[in-house]
Amino acid sequence: MTWEEARNYCELQDGFLTSITDETNLKWLAEIFQTRKPFWIGLHQTQPRGPWVWHNFEHVGFTKWDKGHPVNTKWRSPTNKQIKRKHYLLQKQKHYRGPKACVLVTPNLYWQNRLCNRIITNVNFICMRNPEIF
């Protein structure tokens, strides 16, 4: 499932992909949903190196990036390896106009940015309605 498919499902339910405001909220979501699979959340970038935005437009204050993530954002200096080759998140994608980089929460509750239109197998997602989760 792609991030976009998860987003579209949530929107059809009059909701959003979940936002995570702090560590307590992250652990609560993992405990309530008892997911041992990675899951999509609403954090995304509309363009490479652009600002991070929540699907429901909440302020982005808390993040929990996995080692090496986020890949090539303006908040991080590229390493020599990244300078030598263009990362897949920055490669041009023909005819694609949606968000570029979206966030997946790993089973150990760290965040990784991935292409929004790339299919990830065996992945979940969590929708929310303000202020409730469904």
Structural domain that includes position 46: 3-128
Domain membership flag for residue 134:
no
Q: What pLDDT is recorded for position 85? A: 42
Q: How many domains does the chain have?
A: 1
Domain membership flag for residue 16:
yes
Contact assessment for residue 107 and residue 95, using Cβ atoms and an 8 Å cutoff? no
For 7, the 3-state DSSP assignment is helix
Domain membership flag for residue 107:
yes
Q: What pLDDT is recorded for position 132? A: 57
Q: What is the pTM of this model?
A: 0.78
pLDDT, tens digit only, all 134 positions of the chain: 999 999 999 999 999 999 999 999 999 998 998 888 999 999 999 877 788 999 998 889 999 999 999 987 443 434 444 434 444 444 444 444 668 899 999 999 999 999 999 999 999 999 998 765 55
